[in-house]
């Protein structure tokens, strides 16, 4: 295909979060993201999104907007069929700005798929195209609010609860126990977001075990560099451990595997961009580890790309693709849909989504 990329538009978008999104390392009440649209020489368009989370990834929206002005020059005039090379080149040019380049890369891939008339998941093989269930995230908040939120999601059909923990072990256990006692037949992921010490995490796991809670995964309990503690926590608790913040590149994933530091690797396109996320997923599977996929606080644009990886590559066991449900509104039309906890595949081309640029749009052509 000799269709070229001839225009890039991007604009900031604020989407309020229904309940403050509080994790061990930071808090947000508004998703301050960036939407991006590319237009091809045959008028086909594609969309992407940057969802910087300053306390987790170190990126800010201002930083994304500044970087995009520069990175656009890499894609203008290029053949859209070179989407993979473009993604890897963007990584070289902006290693520390994965959310910014993810927006551009996703939009190029979406445009390519639309021009080729295939759903985005088809690009990666369409290995596992079926409705899939996501977990639901319960942020760090007080006990009553924790239980009220969990009850609300339970009524909508959610059964896997990702509890944000890692700020205070005692209250983490108390909150989890309260949810466990309130709702039958549920399971938990404990996401420490690097907030626990090794001992804290062991205390937490013991506390959950004592109350009878079913903990299926401990996600990033300790600081990202402390792979020894991750390995020790796996051994000593018998609970699978997922590496999230510890894996921000293929090299990180290789280190986690070599050190026996995790059972799962949590893939996020906002940490690595899309092309490298695919490389990490393939490496993870080949290494015999399991795959999880998640996101920052994203709308259905970025999350639609992640769901495409799930449907296309196959082998993802745990889906943490819930953030559009945590937002007070949905700025996007079309694309995949939620039915309770289930994400429904779509059959239109690309992400099959549309959104109108805001007046604050920056246009580069
Ligand atoms: Mg996490």
240-286 pLDDT per residue, tens: 999 999 999 999 999 999 999 999 999 999 999 999 999 999 999 99
Distance of CA 207 to the CA centre of its chain: 28
The reply to whether the predicted model has a pTM over 0.95 is yes
191 Cα–ligand 1 center, Å = 6
Ligand 1 centroid–CA 219 distance in Å is 6
The Å distance, Cα 230 to ligand 1 centre, comes to 14
- Mean per-residue pLDDT for 320-327? 97
Q: Could you tell me how far CA 348 lies from the centroid of its own chain?
A: 22
Structure tokens at 316: 């993802």
Q: Which residues of 291-324 are buried (b: 16+ CB within 10 A; e: fewer)?
A: bbbbbbbbbbbbbbbbbbbbbbbbebebbbbbbb
pLDDT of 106-155, one tens digit each? 999 999 999 999 999 999 999 999 999 999 999 999 999 999 999 999 99
Q: Is the pLDDT of residue 53 over 90?
A: no
Q: What is the mean pLDDT of residues 39-58?
A: 92
Contact 51, 297 (CB under 8 A): yes
pLDDT at 1 > cutoff 70: no
CB atoms within 5 A of ion ligand 1 belong to 191, 219, 244
Ligand 1 center from residue 82 Cα (angstroms):
31
Q: How far is the CA of 193 from the centre of ligand 1 (A)?
A: 6
- Ligand 1 mean position to 166 CA, how many Å? 11
94 CA to middle of ligand 1, Å?
A: 23
pLDDT at position 237: 97
Q: What is the tens place of the pLDDT at every residue in 327-363?
A: 999 999 999 999 999 999 999 999 999 999 999 999 9
Task: Give residue for tokens 């990033």.
Answer: 220
CA dist 272 to 59, 168, 249, 327, Å? 13, 30, 6, 23
What percentage of residues in the chain have a pLDDT greater than 70? 100
Query: Looking at the domain 5-117+354-364, which fold is it?
Result: Enolase-like; domain 1 (3.30.390)
Q: Is the dihedral of CA 301, 304, 306, 312 positive or negative?
A: negative
Q: Give the whole-angstrom CA distance, residue 325 versus residue 343.
A: 11
Ligand 1 centroid from CA 155, angstroms: 24
Q: List 40's β-bridge partners, or say none.
A: 5
Domain ranges of the chain: 5-117+354-364, 122-351
- What CATH number does domain 122-351 carry, 3.40.50.12780, 3.20.20.120, 3.40.710.10, 3.40.190.10? 3.20.20.120
Token duo for residue 303: 């999350």
Write out pLDDT tens, residues 164-215.
Answer: 999 999 999 999 999 999 999 999 999 999 999 999 999 999 999 999 999 9
What is the whole-number distance in angstroms between the Cα of residue 272 and the centre of ligand 1? 14
Q: Are 336 and 311 in contact (CB under 8 A)?
A: no
């Amino acid at each position: 295909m000799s269709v070229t990329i001839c225009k890039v538009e991007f604009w900031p978008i604020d989407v309020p979060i229904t309940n403050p999104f509080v994790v061990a390392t930071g808090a947000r009440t508004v998703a301050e993201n960036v939407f991006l649209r590319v237009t091809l020489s045959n008028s086909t368009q594609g969309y992407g999104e940057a969802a910087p989370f300053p306390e987790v990834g170190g990126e800010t929206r201002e930083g994304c907007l500044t970087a995009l002005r520069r990175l656009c020059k890499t894609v203008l005039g290029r053949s859209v069929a070179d989407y993979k090379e473009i993604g890897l080149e963007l990584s070289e040019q902006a290693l520390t700005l994965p959310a910014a380049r993810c927006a551009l890369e996703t939009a190029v891939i979406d445009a390519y798929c639309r021009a080729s008339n295939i759903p985005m998941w088809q690009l990666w093989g369409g290995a596992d195209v079926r409705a899939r269930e996501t977990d639901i995230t319960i942020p760090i908040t007080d006990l009553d609010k924790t239980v009220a939120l969990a009850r609300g999601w339970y009524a909508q059909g959610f059964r896997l609860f990702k509890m944000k923990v890692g700020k205070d072990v005692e209250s983490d256990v108390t909150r989890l126990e309260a949810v466990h006692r309130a709702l039958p037949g549920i399971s938990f992921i404990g996401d420490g977001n690097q907030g626990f010490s090794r001992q804290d995490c062991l205390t937490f796991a013991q506390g959950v075990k004592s109350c009878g809670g079913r903990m299926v995964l401990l996600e990033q309990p300790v600081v990202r560099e402390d792979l020894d503690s991750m390995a020790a926590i796996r051994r000593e608790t018998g609970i699978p451990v997922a590496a999230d913040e510890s894996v921000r590149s293929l090299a990180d994933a290789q280190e986690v595997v070599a050190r026996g530091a995790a059972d799962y690797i949590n893939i996020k396109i906002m940490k690595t961009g899309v092309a490298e996320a695919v490389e990490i997923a393939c490496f993870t599977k080949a290494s015999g580890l399991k795959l999880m996929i998640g996101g920052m606080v994203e709308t259905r644009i970025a999350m639609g790309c992640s769901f495409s990886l799930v449907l296309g590559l196959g082998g993802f066991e745990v889906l943490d693709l819930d953030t559009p449900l945590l937002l007070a509104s949905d700025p996007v039309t079309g694309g995949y849909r939620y039915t309770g906890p289930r994400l429904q595949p779509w059959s239109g081309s690309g992400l099959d989504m549309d959104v109108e640029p805001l007046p604050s749009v920056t246009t580069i052509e």
